[in-house]
Amino acid sequence: MRHIISVLLENEPGSLARVVGLFAQRGYNIDSLTVAPTEDATMSRLTLVTHGNDQVIEQITKQLHKLIEVVKLQDLSESAHVERELMLIKVKATSGEQRDEVKRCADIFRGQIIDVTAKTFTIQVVGTSDKLDAFIEALKGSAIIEVVRSGVSGIARGEKTLTL
Amino acid sequence: MTSQNTKTEMLSGAAMVIRALADEGVEYLYGYPGGAVLHIYDALFQQSKVKHVLVRHEQAATHMADAYARASGKAGVVLVTSGPGATNAVTGIATAYMDSIPMVVLTGQVMSHLIGEDAFQETDMLGISRPIVKHNMSVRRPEDIPYLIKKAFYIAQSGRPGPVVLDIPKDMTMPHERYPYQYPESIKLRSYNPTAAGHPGQIKKAVTALLKAKRPVIYAGGGVIMGQAAEELTALARKLNYPVTNTLMGLGAFPAADRQFVGMLGMHGSYEANMTMHHADVILAVGARFDDRVTNNTKKFCPDATIIHIDIDPASISKTINAHIPIVGLVKPVLSAMLAQLEQKKAQPDTQALATWWQQIDEWRTVHGGHYDSDTAVLKPQAVIEAVSRITQGEAYVTSDVGQHQMFAAQYYKFNKPNRWINSGGLGTMGFGLPAAMGVKLNYPDADVVCVTGEGSIQMNIQELSTCKQYGLGVKIINLNNGYLGMVKQWQDMNYESRYASSYMDSLPDFVKLAEAYGHVGIRVTKPEELQPALEKAFAHKDQLVFLDIHVDPKEHVYPMQVPGGAINDMFLSKTKRT
Ligand SMILES: Cc1ncc(C[n+]2csc(CCOP(=O)(O)OP(=O)(O)O)c2C)c(N)n1
Ligand SMILES: [Mg+2]
């Protein structure tokens, strides 16, 4: 099962290495990882996408908790939440027909064309990971040159929070 | 005096390191000097509160500190230089980590501006030690040193204990740069607050389940020893009259001489302990972690049992074996709370079921019962341990190395007190025994301290015989010399048709002469009848190190031994018998 784990982490040197090291040492999967400071600069917020059976996920959350610099964590996928990922994708767009096709596709996915040259389009798409996958799939016909994905960020819906 | 009038002391970073240790109550520091820590050594030289023990290899410093912690419950402290000094300490740090032993390791580091430049004797000690420490930190500003040292002790000693490394770049310790010094009394971290008391609801559930048991067993591990809870465990077990088994790390948590003790469990556990576990309907696991050397095949583990698991570390609960009633907390207050509830309750254990259960256990006791072939012309290693146990009345501190001798010590020494059995259970570090014995002897000079070792293991830190001379450490070394890396040989006998690939050591030194060369007493024992007089002579030398080189049967195997892939109670009982 896919899980999205949000972690509040002391923003100290080496604390991120400790989180990543834990996953490597214990053989847990990391599908994506994003990290940046919060409104409080002494704390970072980390969003980790992983998969495993219930027992593995339980161990992951417990082992993360054991890290001295982990302040709090939450398995977002356990309740209602919003998740978003940002993708920048550069595609070849030379002929008029190609350019129209890419534009149409971008519109359907509510993507924005953020850079244009005579030979390329760069499109920004935001959404769930599934949506980004679908967009890549839809563009398979045109030549994709480069893909950058931010990894998932997520937040719980409603009153539920992950704050101090 | 008001705080305004108090003049804050101004100290260099180096002086702060030593002063903070003194304020923490540290008596001994184990270490070895080198370029990156010379300022600290100079500060050490200029005071007398903290005493330094100069080992011959940094690994020994870590084991000395570790063993002190195992015996006392307080963190041991190590000081080593950067680069090779730090890497030599790695095995000792990992050893402490695997057994959850509190330790503070101060490692020197090159000047901050050189970090990352592959400077002379630079190694990334934070990176190297990350997977084998509870936490590690580095000093970035000299004025943070008192806080960081307090934090290191707090983390090492609270919750599930473990080693903490503090990396100190040389420029943090400059002798002429002074900063205000104040040692914090306590520390609070927003990201780290280990639980202490267990959940009352869970404790209640556990007591109810315990009282309903028909075939109960108490399975106690190293958490009871390090959690200083042997007294509570013993009281609880006696109140209920339930059988108790200890893990390798838990020996001494319940007295071996007590009728309720069924022995150690696991890979080389007693037949009765493993049988009692397998057939139990309720298991109370206390400060134990269902290690693979205990459970054998987890899929076949104790099929009928309701498992109550008390542990300070939530990650240890349901990691390998699912716990039905988990209780996260320090074992001491949790056991006290259980006892208090038992006192109040009118419900009693099912005495009739218990009588039947004890009858069954007593039958199992007759099946193997620690039997070994004793009337032979060659000395048996088991007989040596039994003799040592008798002569020290189960009261000595016994450290060990790793191998057959370790298992014989665990099986045949009757530990009646906690914190007396000191061995590397989790990592299985050969070379641990002698430095460990030294760490204990230094801190408990009046106690008998015995190091049970083998001719393979002892050679891994033999150089420490020199340290023993320097500090007058009169440990008794029981070298069970079988001429082989015996445990390896046993596996080769059982699984590789006795092809002894590199398990025989040629050219062993004359250990008696070697001991004498270091200024100690050496005694050789080759026949059964020489054993008792030799032991009496050795223990009569109160302040001298005595190296007993005891030639034992090279063919002996450790039994019982679990059958790989089997249940906890699938065992070989001798070379020809299995369950
Ligand atoms: C540092 C280290 N290297 C290798 C091993 C693997 N090992 C486990 S027991 C053993 C043999 C130990 O021989 P000895 O000290 O003579 O003890 P014996 O088994 O003969 O009693 C070895 C090599 C280990 N545990 N530790
Ligand atoms: Mg040997």
Residue A113, domain CATH:
3.30.70.1150
A70 and A133, same domain (yes or no): no
Taking the Cβ of residue A100 and every Cβ of chain B, the question of whether any pair is shorter than 8 Å is answered with: no
Token pair, residue B222, equals: 């190293």
A74 and A103, same domain (yes or no): no
> What is the domain extent for residue A56?
2-78
Compute the nearest-CA separation of B435 from chain A (Å). Answer: 29
Q: Which residues does B275 contact at the CB level (< 8 Å), separation at least 6?
A: B361, B364, B569
In percent, how much of chain A has pLDDT > 70?
Answer: 100
Helix axes B38-45, B13-23, angle to 10 degrees: 60
Q: Kindly write down the DSSP assignment for every residue of B241-272, as one continuous string.
A: T--EEE-GGGTTSS-TTSTTEEEE-STT--HH
Rounded to a whole number of angstroms, the CA Rg of chain A reads 19
- Is residue B214 situated within a structural domain? yes
The CA-CA-CA angle for residues B23, A68, A76, to 5°, reads 160
Please give the distance, rounded to the nearest whole angstrom, from the Cα atom of residue B406 to the centre of ligand 1: 10
> What is the domain extent for residue B121?
9-181
A57 and A91, same domain (yes or no): no
Q: Out of B130, B134, B314, name the one closest to residue A17 (CB).
A: B130
* CB-CB under 8 Å, A70 with B191: yes
| Global pTM value | 0.96
Residue B2 is predicted with a pLDDT of: 44
Q: Is B516 a catalytic residue?
A: no
- Is residue B166 situated within a structural domain? yes
Does the structure's ipTM exceed the value 0.85? yes
Q: Is the dihedral of CA A90, A91, A97, A102 positive or negative?
A: negative
Residue B1 is predicted with a pLDDT of: 39
Residue A149, Ramachandran bin (φ over 0: left; ψ between -120 and 50: alpha; else beta): beta
Backbone angles phi, psi at A76, to 5 degrees: -60, -35
Compute the nearest-CA separation of A81 from chain B (Å). Answer: 24
A87 and A122, same domain (yes or no): yes
CA–CA dist A26, A9 (Å, integer): 20
Q: Is B575 a catalytic residue?
A: no
A21 and A62, same domain (yes or no): yes
How many structural domains does chain A have? 2
B407 and B312, same domain (yes or no): no
A7 DSSP β-pair partners: A46, A73
Residue A141 is predicted with a pLDDT of: 73
Backbone angles phi, psi at A117, to 5 degrees: -130, 180
Token pair, residue B170, equals: 């040389």
CA–CA dist B353, B356 (Å, integer): 5
Atom of ligand 1 nearest to the CA of B458: 15
CA–CA dist B290, B296 (Å, integer): 9
Residue A142 is predicted with a pLDDT of: 74
Taking the Cβ of residue A26 and every Cβ of chain B, the question of whether any pair is shorter than 8 Å is answered with: no
CA–CA dist B452, B480 (Å, integer): 7
CA–CA dist B531, B202 (Å, integer): 52
How many structural domains does chain B have? 3
Q: Find, among B12, B8, B7, the residue nearest to B142 by Cα.
A: B12
- Is residue B569 situated within a structural domain? no
* CB-CB under 8 Å, A62 with B314: yes
pLDDT range class, residue A140, cuts 50, 70, 90: confident
B96 and B23, same domain (yes or no): yes
Which residues of chain A does B318 touch, with a Cβ-Cβ cutoff of 8 Å? Answer: 55, 58
Taking chain B (579 residues) in consecutive chunks of 10 residues, what is each chunk's mean pLDDT?
A: 65 98 98 98 98 98 98 98 98 98 98 96 97 98 98 98 98 97 96 92 97 98 97 98 98 97 98 98 97 96 96 94 96 97 89 98 96 91 98 97 98 97 98 98 98 98 98 98 98 96 94 98 97 98 96 97 96 94
Q: Is B120 a catalytic residue?
A: yes
Kindly report the number of other CB atoms within 10 A of residue B363's CB atom.
11
- Is residue A163 situated within a structural domain? no
B434 and B341, same domain (yes or no): no
Asked whether the predicted pLDDT for residue A1 surpasses 80, the reply is: yes
Which residues of chain A does B134 touch, with a Cβ-Cβ cutoff of 8 Å? Answer: 68
Most A CBs within 10 Å, among B153, B192, B195, B328, to test the A interface:
B192
A48 and A29, same domain (yes or no): yes
B521 and B411, same domain (yes or no): yes
Q: Find, among B129, B189, B196, B140, the residue nearest to B163 by Cα.
A: B129
Rounded to a whole number of angstroms, the CA Rg of chain B reads 25
- Is residue A55 situated within a structural domain? yes
pLDDT tens by residue, A49-77: 999 999 999 999 999 999 999 999 999 99
Please give the distance, rounded to the nearest whole angstrom, from the Cα atom of residue B483 to the centre of ligand 2: 5
Residue A73 is predicted with a pLDDT of: 97
Task: Output the domain CATH number for residue B46.
Answer: 3.40.50.970
Q: Is B214 a catalytic residue?
A: no
> Which residues form ligand 1's pocket by a CB distance below 6 Å?
B 401-405, 428-431, 454-457, 480, 482, 484-488
- Is residue A109 situated within a structural domain? yes
Among A29, A54, A78, the domain boundary falls at A78
B349 and B456, same domain (yes or no): no
Residue keyed to tokens 């008998």: B448
Asked whether the predicted pLDDT for residue A150 surpasses 80, the reply is: yes
Q: Which of residues 131-150 of B touch A (CB under 8 A)?
A: 131, 134-136, 138, 140
B421 and B524, same domain (yes or no): yes
Task: Output the domain CATH number for residue A41.
Answer: 3.30.70.260
- Is residue B242 situated within a structural domain? yes
Compute the nearest-CA separation of A54 from chain B (Å). Answer: 11
A60 and A114, same domain (yes or no): no
B261 and B330, same domain (yes or no): yes
- Is residue B573 situated within a structural domain? no
Atom of ligand 1 nearest to the CA of B485: 13
- Is residue B374 situated within a structural domain? no
